[in-house]
Chains A and B, each alone.
Chain A
Amino acid sequence: MVEEEISRRYSEKKMRCPVHLSIGQEAIPSIFAMTITKDDFAVSTHRGHAHYLSKGGNLDAMIAEIYGKSTGCAKGKGGSMHLIDRNVNFMGTSAIVGNSIPVGVGLALSTKLKGTDQISCIFLGDGAVEEGVFYESVNFAAVRKLPVLFICENNLYSVYSPLSVRQPKDRSIAKMVEGMGIEMSIGNDSDILANQKLMKKAVSNVRSGNGPHFLEFPTYRWREHCGHNFDNDIGYRSEEEFLEWQAKDPLKLLERNLSKDSIDLSKKLLSIKESINSEVLAAFEFAEASPFPDQLEAYKGVYAAEGAQ
């Protein structure tokens, strides 16, 4: 609903930075939100709005950041692709594919050294699996048995390049990673409850010191790679494929199942949606009303000062 609002308003040209929307891929962050604790760490990618929010990241600060305001989560220095909320240990997202993966592993190394039971969760896409740093990171997490949960959202496309031109046909990403010596599980493309069980089990395995775990979830991006439009017309994927994925969208299916059994539940869903909607509208109001950072702020903060955190 947050990103639907971004889409509605993007053409106003007030959000002047690239946005990579997770619409269609919300099921995975939704179960993540219900599985993880505030103290656990998470890092994510350019398509990171949903991950930030699922970790409990502040909505007002995220929208303000996209608007380039001083109240933004990175004070206007980062934009949509550099989200952070230290209060909930959401440690950052990166515009460079695969870039945040080793950072997540480093967080895990540090928690292990400090002896806490925090785990570090790393969101990545199928494209990042083609980066060298991914293998380096998985390998190090495996050799040091670090508490890392890799969450791979396989949405079949890297920008507009389909998996078929990027990875060999019939080779499973998760099985390949298993061959590197870490445990893995593969999620379902439509059953959110089964996926939730899978994630719970993986989190508990990682937390109990069994080393890293790799989760792969099939999913589908509804909008264009970057921007707010639908783009089935430009010819890199078929309308049929899109409709097929829309039909099996795990959240829609869940909603349908819940509503058909009980009028009470469907009323409850409606009221939840209303309350979220007013939160979203308030966040946009907050962002619009917030001041821009002073122009001179651009030249500050290149170095951290002595005694910085």
Chain B
Amino acid sequence: MSQKTYTEAINEALHEAMRLDSSVICYGLGVTDPKAIFGTTANLEKQFGTERVFDMPTSENAMTGVAIGAALNGTKSVMTHQRIDFFLLAMDQLVNGAAKWHYMFGSQNSVPITIRLIIGRGWGQGPTHSQNLQAWFAHIPGLKVVMPTTPEDAKGMLLASIFDPNPVIFLEHRWLHNSIGEVPDGDIRVPLGKAKIIKSGKDITVVSMSYMTIEAIHASDYLEKQGILCEVIDLRTIKPLDWQTVMESVSKTGHLLALDSGFSTGSVAGEIIARVSMENFSALKSPPARLAMPDVPEPTSPSLTRGFYVRAADIVEKVMDMMGRDTGQVRKDLIEPIPHDVPGKWFEGPF
């Protein structure tokens, strides 16, 4: 075990999967180019050859269908798009094809496909390079949707996704790519459909996913100093969602804040609040709350994205408000970083 970046963890998972199973192939626009999808596909072509690792035409829709056809003959595709937004061209093949194939042909075929989609944010990614569409995909029966936060989960869940017999949407937040964590060696599959309690606490349940979990951890550190102990649940898998972990936590804490990196309306956070309210209403001691992106396309100019994202300060303020605490000091303690539109010094653009 050693410290690795999220990017290295993804790369390691791909190497491991292709080594374990010769039916795994890997393709996408830029997979074999010198930048290798932010380094995530580095050395794969060298290691496994051009038949199994290849660049592709700019044809998101057909290449998704190609993955279905290949799967029907036992070939497992891992397809990557540098931004989730490009993949919107492939909705027919994903929604009408991959998601339903197993069901609509009477369970005779499975379509193991992993589709890696990278979510951008900041540095002027703008309206069409920054969308968090996990709720869209989760809406479709037959798809699995995963959003790992830590490098270890990135590796373990990518391995689990590749060897899952279903189509899996694997969402990587660009702001996580350079995060560092312990990543075990070898075939360390992390089961899909299980959330992780990142931080245990008795006062409030904070449900989160992907990059939002990082903000939630910062918030819970601050709140701990104020005497409020958050239970931070990192969903990891959006579909199928681990309701048991969510319900048990709310039963314990009696308060729920659901975070989402996507737009507010129709969000995963909204679904969590609905279901907890319907099925676990008696456990709630205060109205559940949600923090998600406004129902507005993400603008480009850095001046327009100031205060635009949900950050630790927003989470802290919301939690303290729910607990009936004074929030006067929060914005002074947790100011928006300058610059606000990059995940850290390591990020120097362009995307």
Contact = CB atoms under 8 A, between A and B. Distances in A.
B69 A78 contact: no
A82 to B, nearest CB: 5
A129 to B, nearest CB: 14
Given A73-B106, A84-B106, A302-B142, A107 B92 contact: no
Contacts of A107: 69-70, 72-73
B59 interface: yes
Contacts of B101: 92
Contacts, number: 158
Nearest to B95: A96
Interface stretch (B49-57, B203-211, B309-317, B319-327): B49-57
B201 interface: no
B65 A103 contact: yes
Interface residues of A, number: 50
A114 interface: yes
B66 A99 contact: no
B303 interface: no
Nearest to A300: B107
A54 B113 CA distance: 30
B165 A109 contact: no
A158 interface: no
A137 B65 CA distance: 9
B130 interface: no
Give the size category of B's interface with A: 35 or more
A251 B110 CA distance: 39
Contact of A106 (B56, B72, B112, B142): B72
Contact of B69 (A72, A102, A306, A308): A102
Contact of A78 (B71, B105, B144): B105
Given A99-B97, A139-B57, A304-B166, A106 B108 contact: no
A73 B57 CA distance: 35
Given A41-B73, A102-B68, A136-B57, A75 B106 contact: yes
Interface in A61-105: 72-78, 82, 84, 86, 91-92, 94-96, 99-105
Contacts of B66: 102-103, 105-106, 109, 137, 140
A139 B66 CA distance: 12
B59 A140 contact: yes
A136 B61 contact: yes
B103 interface: yes
Nearest to A98: B92
Nearest to B64: A102
B104 interface: yes
B75 A110 contact: yes
Nearest to B110: A304
Interface in B63-110: 63-75, 92-93, 96-97, 101-110
A245 to B, nearest CB: 32
Interface in B206-246: none
A110 B106 contact: no
Nearest to B73: A110
B62 interface: yes
A111 B112 CA distance: 17
A176 to B, nearest CB: 17
A102 B93 contact: yes
B165 A304 contact: yes
A110 B102 contact: no
Contacts of B108: 74, 84, 86, 309
Contacts of B93: 99, 102, 133
A303 to B, nearest CB: 5
Contacts of B96: 94-96, 99
A77 B73 contact: no
B61 A132 contact: yes
B106 A78 contact: yes
A1 interface: no
Given A86-B108, A86-B109, A309-B110, A140 B57 contact: yes
Given A92-B109, A107-B72, A140-B62, 10 more contacts: A74-B104, A103-B72, A103-B97, A106-B70, A110-B75, A136-B59, A139-B59, A139-B62, A305-B165, A309-B109
18 contacts: A75-B106, A75-B107, A84-B105, A92-B105, A99-B93, A100-B65, A103-B68, A104-B69, A106-B70, A106-B72, A109-B70, A111-B73, A120-B69, A136-B61, A137-B59, A140-B59, A140-B62, A308-B110
In order of increasing CB-CB distance, the 3 nearest A-B pairs are: A106-B69, A102-B65, A136-B62
